[in-house]
Amino acid sequence: MNDVISADSTLPSAAALAALKAIVGSKGWIDEPDRLEPYLTEERGRFRGRCAAVVRPASTAEVAAVVRICAEARIPIVPQGGNTGLVGGAVPAGGIVIAADRLNRIRELDAINRTVTVEAGVILSDLQAAAAAAGALFPLSLAAEGSCRIGGNLATNAGGIQVLRYGNARDLVLGLEVVLTDGRVWDGLTALRKNNTGYDLKQLFLGSEGTLGIITAAVLKLFPQPKVTETALAAVPSVAAAVDLYRRMGDAAGDALTAFELMARLPVEMCLAHIPGVVDPFDAPHPYYVLMKLTSPRPGDPLREAIESVLGEAFEAETVIDAVIASNEAQAAQLWRMRESIPEAQKSEGGSIKNDISVPISRVPEFIDRASAVATAALPGIRVCAFGHIGDGNIHFNLSQPPGADRATFLADWNRIEGLVSAVAHELGGSFSAEHGVGLLKRGSVQKFKSAVEIDLMRRIKRALDPDGIMNPGKVLPPG
């Protein structure tokens, strides 16, 4: 685990800490080492931070008051949602953590306007449930949904499994409330589909990983609930065939196509070996699989016929080898369990180097070919465990250690291997971080793969909105 070194190694003064504590009271204050612990480490255990205190404001006004004091005293702030990020973006390096967990109200739900106004600390699955209770759908859905908080989802522009149909977190936002780095509050909580009245400021904060301000509330879009859902698993001979099937299914189904996931045989085998209850629905092994979900809000919409028709054409074209359409929810859940268990199954196979890349969908076959060759050449015996949201061009190009290799030695090679894989994505017009963000982990890739012009523009924005550099310092922008 890497220790995070604070840019500002001086601790906040006792007077400043007392002033901060006075704002939030003892319920909103954590400074005992054992209680601080969960706020200092992150999911994959790659970073360990430190801070003087965790401050848990219960209102936007309290957030603003806390930030004002920090701005005056130049105390670094790390905003934290559910701390489920994978790139170290919420790890503190001195100063304080502002945790969102007490900002947890759903302020308003407008069923006619199809919008919900929520505070940053609402847990994603609670928000999904609130929408469902009102007969609507909030479509953002990802593995950490039971503990991640919407403020963090927005600050990191979270993706997940329904991006194909509903977009990334950014696309679900109509308005934001943000505490700026000087403690002023920007109330941009509009609930409008159209509003061309100057710069679209909310876009600055979405996806900026808490480096420009603290999102305290948002107006989010809701959608009609699906009335028909069909799930199918297709076995395909190659990645190119998976892309061909994507094109056919997309042409025919349009937005009904809600998820389109690729799995190579190896991760499927790992699931079969390690995850109880996962079974192979086909008689023979196949090189790749596509798991797809189609949904429609129209009762009785004949989606199944559409799937059958496309699969029929794809069989003819030899794009599909075999396929199964779930005949009920239990079967659909069984198919999804395989896809969702891959990261867990991989753990049983030793260390895994994760690459969250994206390329244009048309380049996915070439990416997987070339990246596999590069990884194998760099470390013979490495096992390519490719899966992910191929419909978005987003592949979790995970690499399991060679069987029997030493886990720690293998993981020590992370940066080298990741760099090689990212370079292939970059050459194909792709991205070294499709949905996980930059945080601490990928600042080097920003430096390596972004143009000087782009980095300069990012720095100008940072300086314009956070001239003293107190907000999540050291994240996103490359060092120096």
Interface with its own copies includes 362 (CB under 8 A)? yes
Which of 50/436 has CB closer to its own copies? 436
CA distances to 66, 81, 267, 269, 480 from 274, rounded to whole Å, are: 47, 32, 10, 9, 45
Total residues contacting its own copies (rule CB under 8 A)?
A: 95
Q: Which of 30, 90, 140, 185 binds its own copies (CB under 8 A)?
A: 185
Placement of tokens 């070339």 in the chain:
370
**Rounded least distance, CB 470 to its own copies, Å:** 16
Q: Which of 104, 125, 190, 334 binds its own copies (CB under 8 A)?
A: 190
Q: Which of 153, 372, 401, 445 binds its own copies (CB under 8 A)?
A: 445
Q: Which of 197, 380, 403, 404 binds its own copies (CB under 8 A)?
A: 197
**Rounded least distance, CB 438 to its own copies, Å:** 6
Q: Which of 431, 444, 468, 469 binds its own copies (CB under 8 A)?
A: 431
Q: Which of 74, 128, 130, 186 binds its own copies (CB under 8 A)?
A: 186
**Rounded least distance, CB 166 to its own copies, Å:** 10
Contact mark string toward its own copies, 74..113, x via CB under 8 A: ------------------------------------xxxx
Interface with its own copies includes 392 (CB under 8 A)? yes
Contact 193, 86 (CB under 8 A): no
Which of 166/410 has CB closer to its own copies? 166
User: Does residue 58 sit in helix, strand or coil?
Assistant: coil
Which of 179/233 has CB closer to its own copies? 179
Report the alpha-carbon distance of residue 298 to residue 98 in Å, rounded: 43
Interface with its own copies includes 193 (CB under 8 A)? yes
- Residues within window 37-76 making contact with its own copies, judged by CB under 8 A: none
- Backbone φ and ψ of 99, nearest 5°: -95, 145
Residues found in the chain: 480
Spatial CA neighbour of 474 closest among 434, 451, 444? 444
Contact 305, 294 (CB under 8 A): no
- Residues within window 226-265 making contact with its own copies, judged by CB under 8 A: 243, 246-247, 250-256
Q: Which of 60, 162, 168, 401 binds its own copies (CB under 8 A)?
A: 168
Which of 345/371 has CB closer to its own copies? 371
Which of 41/362 has CB closer to its own copies? 362
Which of 223/414 has CB closer to its own copies? 223
Report the alpha-carbon distance of residue 225 to residue 237 in Å, rounded: 34
Contact 70, 24 (CB under 8 A): no
Contact 414, 422 (CB under 8 A): no
Interface with its own copies includes 317 (CB under 8 A)? no
Contact 388, 342 (CB under 8 A): no
* Exposure string for 81-100, b = 16+ CB within 10 A, e = fewer: bbbbbbbbbbbbbbbbbbbb
Interacting stretch for its own copies, rule CB under 8 A, among 62-70, 202-210, 275-283, 403-411?
202-210
SS percent in the chain: helix, strand, coil, step 5: 40, 20, 40
Interface with its own copies includes 208 (CB under 8 A)? yes
**Rounded least distance, CB 422 to its own copies, Å:** 10
Which of 18/192 has CB closer to its own copies? 192
Q: Which of 45, 133, 194, 404 binds its own copies (CB under 8 A)?
A: 194
**Rounded least distance, CB 68 to its own copies, Å:** 14
Interface with its own copies includes 201 (CB under 8 A)? yes
Q: What are the DSSP calls for 280-330, one per residue?
A: -SSSS--SEEEEEEEEESSTT--HHHHHHHHHHHHHHTTS-SEEEE-SSHH
Angle (CA) 292-224-220 rounded to 5° is 100
Which of 50/462 has CB closer to its own copies? 462
Contact 118, 217 (CB under 8 A): yes
Which of 183/281 has CB closer to its own copies? 183
Note the Cα 437 to chain centre separation in Å: 7
Spatial CA neighbour of 245 closest among 302, 160, 313? 313
Q: Which of 40, 206, 239, 338 binds its own copies (CB under 8 A)?
A: 206
Which of 256/385 has CB closer to its own copies? 256
Interface with its own copies includes 32 (CB under 8 A)? no
Spatial CA neighbour of 51 closest among 1, 99, 91? 91
